[in-house]
Amino acid sequence: MPHSSTAPITKSQFKLGLDCIHKLQHARNGLPQRSRDDEMLRLLAEGGAAVEALVRATEPGQLIGGFGDDAVARSRDAVLRGCHEASAGRVTTLYEVTICDDGFLARLDLVRIRPDGIDLVEIKSKSVDAPEGSVDASDFFKATGEVHGKWAPYVRDVAFQQELLRNWLAKHLGQLATKSQSHIRPKLLLINQSGAATSSAILDRRNYRANYNLTSKGVRAEVEHVGQGADRGLLVEVDMSVAVLAMEADAQSTVGCFQGRGIQSCMAEMRRIVDSDAWPVVTESLTPACKRCEFRVKDDVESGFLRCWGVEVGSMPNHVLTLSHIKSLQLQQALRKRQRQANVTDVDPASISDRQRLQHEALRRNRPIVTAGFASSPRAALQVADVAGPVYFLDFETFAHPIPSRVGGHPFEVVPFQFEGHRLPSPSAALADRVRLDGFLEIADPDPRRAFVDALRQQLGSEGLIFHWHSYERTVLNAIVTSLGQDRLPGDDERRAFLATLVGRDGEGGGRLVDLLAIAQSAFYHPNMKGSYSIKRVLPIAWAEPSIRRHFAPGHGTVGDLAAYPGATDPYAELPPPPVDLLQALGGVDALHALATEDDEASHGAAIRNGGMAMLAYHFARMLGSPSDPAVTTQLRQYCRLDSAAMVMVYALMRDIVPGWSQYGGR
């Protein structure tokens, strides 16, 4: 087949195509994308840019970079020179090598050209536990022989690169010194979860410098290691030859036209589709995963999601995609009834699971409902029937990064830098008696764990249930218990004993923590929640109740709290945008749009209006701004206090309002 004159299929486009063929089509058409590979978000969520900077510091080499024709030419020359160097027994290390061949293009993270072959190394900030400094290849496989789902995207990535580099080398063998250099060893360079950071590797201003630029593809981060020396204690290099061989037989794609095909065959079929512009019928690609599509962007008429579905789901609050935990069979049932305009109630009632039943029933009745069990005894369900003392409402903000912030710290160690909370003197107390806790915020100290726990001890006392939303607070406290047990200082035994009273001796229950989300999920559903129990979806329902709202309006009287919580219908919607200094440092004020995300019920807060934005503000203050910047600290306080105040409002909703809703006999 003749080669297409269209732009080459990039590595990121190839990965999109194996995930959904129409994502590839949207990318080829240049439609806007909420990219999960955005380099700034990687720095925050995965730390990819910082990890790459650390790798380059530990193994110096030539950085090429770029994607255009100039980068391709410079990469070709650098690889050819490296091969000639290898024939003389020398090793050449190249970073960001751009290879273009036969309609495909990829930038290779690290190419190490040795006398006996070429190491093709993909740098990932994903962690793997390698206490002895190595990983068994079998760890990446299921018992069935397939590559584990969590590793499959990474293995596909390096398998694609190997195929592209292999074809490129075959065409240039005449210019290479020896054919042995065409032997490629595919590898992943990962974060070693067992590694401990040294002073030359920790994440601070002495070691790393970052610059951000807003581009058409989102905010791009450039991170440089500027410290004195660096070591590989946080890194582990894994030979992926066996896993890549499996992908060469079957790329494990669920897309119909790629199912059962190996990487080479997938590449050929993908190029055929692109060259002929003959795309599969879009309705064949509609799945529950569409609700999380990267091309589901806000306020944009060019939405790829809109092209696929023909309707913006947000304009249909009960669209079938809002069904919680929706399965493929359920989606197909609904689509057969009303095609892409299908409603949650179009799903066959016989297929509805227990987790979906309240939502389905509330929408069928077109009214909020409560289970009969909760309505008959809400305080028992809230676990406060026999509680006489105070009850607390607690929210955390944390930072986690593959590069630890403290010497001796481990990758992705949780840094608990903030908590805010509220207290009612008793479970039945009026909202007028609410007290805001002093809270805790520490940005300058890279290791605030002990100060965090000490502040919790002082403000929570020794009795009273502590409500939180989702399991995250328990997860954070369990992580602190473990880490304090590994590097004990005076007072840590007492701190761990206190934390055990919160999470229970086994960390799983029996302590003072109570997950209000878990109770809500089994108690009620309101049609306005749109399939989610995110606190940000439930709060507007409580805010609509005058008996609740007046205790957070101007003149509410709670000492030390905000003068008033804002918003006509939703306090979160009225929080101020992030400080201008922060946005300008991250590529300009338009960076806010690149950060926009949606919370869901599995989120502990994800874009200062949610936890991801709080994490970003924390990182900015530590690495780019000032830890005492009032524009940042004030917003961190305001956001986190609203999260904990929201729990008070939802608790009051569940205690006083929800029991009066229409009852449903299930559960």
Q: What is the pLDDT of residue 68?
A: 87
> What pLDDT is stored for residue 618 in this prediction?
87
Q: What CATH number has the domain bearing residue 434?
A: 3.30.420
Instruction: Classify 620 as helix, strand or coil.
Output: helix
Q: Smallest Cα–Cα separation from 271: which of 567, 28, 433, 568?
A: 28
Q: Domain end: 227, 248, 268, which one?
A: 268
Are 191 and 63 members of one domain? Answer: yes
- Are the CB atoms for 30 and 284 separated by under 8 Å? no
In order of 9, 27, 276, the CA distances from 304 in angstroms are: 18, 9, 20
If one counts the domains in the chain, the total is: 3
pLDDT in tens, 148-174: 999 999 999 999 999 999 999 988 876
**Cα angle for residues 550, 553, 555 (degrees, 5° grid):** 100
Q: How far is CA 408 from CA 199, 385, 446, 484, in A?
A: 9, 45, 12, 12
- pLDDT bucket at 557, cuts 50 / 70 / 90: confident
Residues 248 and 109 in one domain: yes
Sign of CA pseudo-dihedral 538, 539, 540, 546: positive
pLDDT at site 164: 96
Distance, CA of 509 to CA of 502 (rounded, Å): 8
Per-residue pLDDT, averaged over 295-308, amounts to 78
Same domain? For 532 and 649 the reply is yes
Question: What pLDDT score does 602 carry?
Answer: 37
Phi-psi group of 166: left, alpha or beta (phi > 0 → left; psi -120 to 50 → alpha; rest → beta): alpha
Distance, CA of 649 to CA of 167 (rounded, Å): 62
Give pLDDT, residue 414. 92
Q: Are 339 and 290 in contact (CB under 8 A)?
A: no
226 with 136, same domain: the answer is yes
Cross-strand partners of 371: 664
In a domain, 273, yes or no: no
What average pLDDT does this structure show over 411-424?
95
pLDDT at 4: 45
pLDDT for the residue 175: 63
Residues 385-413 have a mean pLDDT of 93
- Euclidean distance between CA atoms 187 and 171, whole angstroms: 23
Classify residue 321: in a domain, yes or no: no
Q: Which residues constitute the domain of residue 628? A: 526-664
Say if residue 393's pLDDT is above 60: yes
Q: What is the CA radius of gyration of the chain?
A: 27
Give the end of a domain, one of 491, 517, 543.
517
Indicate if 609 and 503 belong to the same structural domain.
no
In a domain, 361, yes or no: no
Q: Whose CA is closest to 624, among 223, 234, 229?
A: 223
Query: Does residue 42 have a pLDDT over 60?
Result: no
The verdict on 504 and 418 lying in the same domain is yes
Could you give the CA distance from residue 372 to residue 347 in angstroms, rounded to a whole number? 24
Residue 45: which of 216, 205, 219 has the closest Cα? 219
Q: Are residue 544 and residue 511 in the same domain, yes or no? A: no
- Model pLDDT, residue 236: 96
Residue 234 within any structural domain of the chain: yes
pLDDT (average), residues 35-53: 64
Report the alpha-carbon distance of residue 307 to residue 290 in Å, rounded: 12
Distances (CA, A) of 310 to 288, 304, 339, 567: 16, 10, 10, 32
* Stronger pLDDT, 489 or 49, i.e. the higher one: 489
**Which pLDDT value is given to residue 178?**
53
Residue 555 backbone zone (phi > 0: left; psi -120 to 50: alpha; other: beta):
left
User: Is the pTM value of this prediction over 0.75?
Assistant: yes
Q: Are residues 96 and 220 in the same domain?
A: yes
Which pLDDT value is given to residue 601? 37
Q: Check whether 560 has a pLDDT greater than 80.
A: no
Q: What is the pLDDT of residues 565-618, one digit of tens each?
A: 888 899 988 887 777 777 666 665 555 555 544 444 333 333 345 667 788 788
Whether 222 is in a domain gets the answer yes
pLDDT of residue 38: 47
Same domain, 216 and 144: yes
Q: What is the mean pLDDT of residues 536-553?
A: 94
pLDDT of 370 over the 70 cut: yes
Amino acid at position 232, single letter: R
- The reported pLDDT for the residue numbered 299 is 56
Residue 6 has pLDDT above 90, yes or no: no
- Mean pLDDT score of the chain, rounded to an integer? 88
Contacts 24+ apart (CB under 8 A), 358-363: 358/524, 358/525, 358/664, 358/666, 358/667, 359/323, 359/324, 359/525, 359/529, 359/531, 360/323, 361/525, 361/664, 361/666, 362/525, 362/526, 362/527, 362/664, 363/318, 363/527
Which of 238, 261, 211 lies closest to 584, judged by CA? Answer: 211
Are residue 460 and residue 398 in the same domain, yes or no? yes
The answer to whether residue 650 scores a pLDDT higher than 80 is: yes
Domain membership of residue 330 (yes or no) is no
- Flag whether 205 is in a domain: yes
Domain boundary among 461, 486, 517: 517
pLDDT per residue as tens digits for the range 486-519: 889 999 999 999 999 999 988 888 899 999 999 9
Q: Three-state DSSP class for 222? A: strand
Span of 39-53, 228-242, 494-508, 535-549 with lowest mean pLDDT: 39-53
Q: Which amino acid is at 35?
A: S
Which pLDDT band, with edges at 50, 70 and 90, does 297 fall under?
confident
Question: Residue 309: inside a domain, yes or no?
Answer: no
Domain co-membership, 77 together with 97: yes
Q: What is the pLDDT of residue 300?
A: 52
More confident residue, 452 or 581: 452
| 461, 593: one domain | no
